[in-house]
C-alpha cells in the first residue's frame, strides 16, 4: 500500500510505538510518521506507507495547530508535567492581561531552545539520551515561527491555549519560556495536535478503529491513496510517451502534455509554483517535477513509478 493513514494518538505511547503498531496491522515494512508527538501528547499523527514515505520533506513544512493547557507556579526539567520541579512552587499568579502580554512576546518569528528531554539531535544523538544520564545537554537555539497564540481559558494555575505554528516549534519550550518571563515558572500540562496542514484530527482513527477497518477490508475508509497527496501542486496529465519518459526520470515537453489541472493552493507548500505532479491519463502518480520555463519542459526529480498493477 502507498498512501497516508491519519491516527489519533493516545497518551502514553510514542510516535514510534504507533508506527510499529500500524506496520503490524497492515503487514508492511515501509511505514513511517510525519512529525513526532511527545508520549504524553495526543492527537493527529500522519502515518505514511510505502512510496508515500518519500513525501516527508513536504509535510514537514506544514503548519501545525495545537490546543493544550499550561500550568503556572513552577518549572520542570522536562518542561512538562512528567518532569521533576526545578523551581520553588508559588501561588503568585499573573493577571490575564500580563499573561496575554507575555505570550505576545513569543508570537511571530522567535529564537527558541529545545527542551533537554527532546528528540532533537546533537552529533547524531537525541538530547534525551544525554539528559537521562545526567550528562550536560548542549542546547542550541533555532528560529521558529508562531503564527498565533491565544488564551482560551484562564483558571490559575492553569491556562488553556490555542496555538498555530510552523514545524520545529516546541510547545514545551514556549510554556517554559512564558513561565520564566512571568517570574512564576511554568510547564506544559496537556497538549493535543488537532491539525497538520489541511489534515484534521476529526478525520483520524484510533489504533483500535484502524484495526477494525483493516479486519473488515475497508481500505478506502482509512487509507488516503498516494494519488490524492500533494494536491496543493498543479497536475500535468501526460500522454503514454510522456509517462514512459517521466517514469524513467527523463524530462517531458509540451507535446507530451494532454492537459493541466490547477492545484488546490491549500497549505504553505502550495506557495511553491515551480513544482508539479506528473500523472498518466488513467490517474497514476508518475513523478514530482520542476518546470523549466525557458526550455518549456518538466524535469522529474522524485519518480514515484506507480504501475498499472501497483497495490
Tens digits of residue pLDDT in 234-260 = 999 999 999 999 999 999 999 999 999
Phi and psi for 11 in degrees, rounded to 5?
-70, 150
User: How many structural domains does the chain have?
Assistant: 3
pLDDT at 122: 54
Within-domain flag for 127: yes
Q: Is the pLDDT of residue 95 over 60?
A: yes
Q: Is the pLDDT of residue 310 over 50?
A: no
Radius of gyration of the chain (CA): 22
Q: Is the pLDDT of residue 188 over 50?
A: yes
Claim to verify: residue 144 and residue 248 sit in the same structural domain: no
Claim to verify: residue 136 and residue 246 sit in the same structural domain: no
Instruction: Retrieve residue 26's grid coordinates.
Output: 497492515
Claim to verify: residue 187 and residue 86 sit in the same structural domain: yes
Claim to verify: residue 57 and residue 116 sit in the same structural domain: no
Residue positions annotated with a catalytic role: 38
Claim to verify: residue 145 and residue 261 sit in the same structural domain: no
Comparing 22-36, 99-113, 174-188, 254-268, which segment has the lowest mean pLDDT? 254-268
User: How much is the average pLDDT of 285-309?
Assistant: 84
Tens digits of residue pLDDT in 13-54 = 999 999 999 999 999 999 999 988 999 999 999 999 999 999
Q: With H, G, I as helix, E, B as strand and everything else as coil, classify residue 107.
A: coil
Within-domain flag for 111: yes
Tens digits of residue pLDDT in 63-76 = 999 999 999 999 99
Claim to verify: residue 69 and residue 118 sit in the same structural domain: yes
Across-strand partners of 123? none
**Looking at residue 9, which CATH number applies to its domain?**
3.30.2350.10
Host domain of residue 12:
3-61+199-226
Residue ending a domain, among 142, 177, 194, is 194
Comparing 17-21, 144-148, 304-308, which segment has the lowest mean pLDDT? 304-308
> How many beta carbons lie within 10 A of that of residue 21, not counting itself?
17
Claim to verify: residue 174 and residue 92 sit in the same structural domain: yes
Instruction: Retrieve residue 136's grid coordinates.
Output: 550536560
Claim to verify: residue 121 and residue 217 sit in the same structural domain: no
Which residues make Cβ contacts (< 8 Å) with residue 198, sequence separation at least 6?
264, 266, 267
Amino acid at each position: 500500500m502507498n498512501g497516508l493513514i491519519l491516527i489519533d494518538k493516545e497518551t502514553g505511547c510514542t510516535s514510534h510505538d504507533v508506527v510499529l503498531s500500524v506496520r503490524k496491522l497492515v503487514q508492511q515494512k515501509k511505514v513511517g510518521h510525519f512529525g513526532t508527538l511527545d508520549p504524553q501528547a495526543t492527537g493527529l499523527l500522519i502515518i505514511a506507507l510505502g512510496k508515500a514515505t518519500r513525501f516527508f520533506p513536504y509535510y514537514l513544512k506544514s503548519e501545525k495547530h495545537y490546543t493544550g493547557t499550561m500550568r503556572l507556579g513552577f518549572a520542570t526539567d522536562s518542561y512538562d508535567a512528567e518532569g521533576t520541579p526545578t523551581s520553588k512552587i508559588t501561588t503568585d499568579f499573573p493577571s490575564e492581561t500580563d499573561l496575554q502580554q507575555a505570550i505576545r512576546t513569543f508570537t511571530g518569528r522567535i529564537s527558541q531552545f529545545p527542551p533537554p528531554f527532546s528528540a532533537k539531535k546533537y552529533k547524531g544523538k537525541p538530547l534525551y539520551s544525554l539528559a537521562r544520564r545526567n550528562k550536560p545537554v548542549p542546547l542550541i537555539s533555532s528560529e521558529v515561527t508562531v503564527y498565533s497564540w491565544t488564551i482560551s481559558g484562564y483558571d490559575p494555575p492553569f491556562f488553556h491555549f490555542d496555538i498555530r505554528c510552523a514545524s520545529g516549534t516546541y510547545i514545551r519550550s514556549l510554556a517554559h519560556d512564558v513561565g520564566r518571563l512571568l517570574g512564576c515558572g511554568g510547564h506544559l500540562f496537556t497538549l493535543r495536535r488537532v491539525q497538520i496542514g489541511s489534515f484534521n484530527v476529526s478525520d483520524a482513527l484510533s489504533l483500535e478503529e484502524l484495526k477494525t477497518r483493516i479486519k473488515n477490508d475497508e481500505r478506502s475508509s482509512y487509507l488516503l491513496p498516494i494519488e490524492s497527496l500533494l494536491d496543493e501542486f498543479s497536475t500535468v496529465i501526460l500522454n503514454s510517451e510522456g509517462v514512459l519518459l517521466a517514469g524513467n526520470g527523463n524530462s517531458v515537453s509540451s507535446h507530451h502534455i494532454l492537459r493541466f489541472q490547477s492545484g488546490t493552493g491549500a497549505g504553505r507548500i502550495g506557495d511553491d509554483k515551480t513544482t508539479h505532479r506528473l500523472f498518466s491519463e488513467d490517474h497514476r502518480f508518475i513523478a514530482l517535477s520542476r518546470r523549466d520555463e525557458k526550455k518549456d519542459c518538466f524535469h522529474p526529480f522524485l519518480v514515484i513509478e506507480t504501475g498499472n498493477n501497483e497495490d
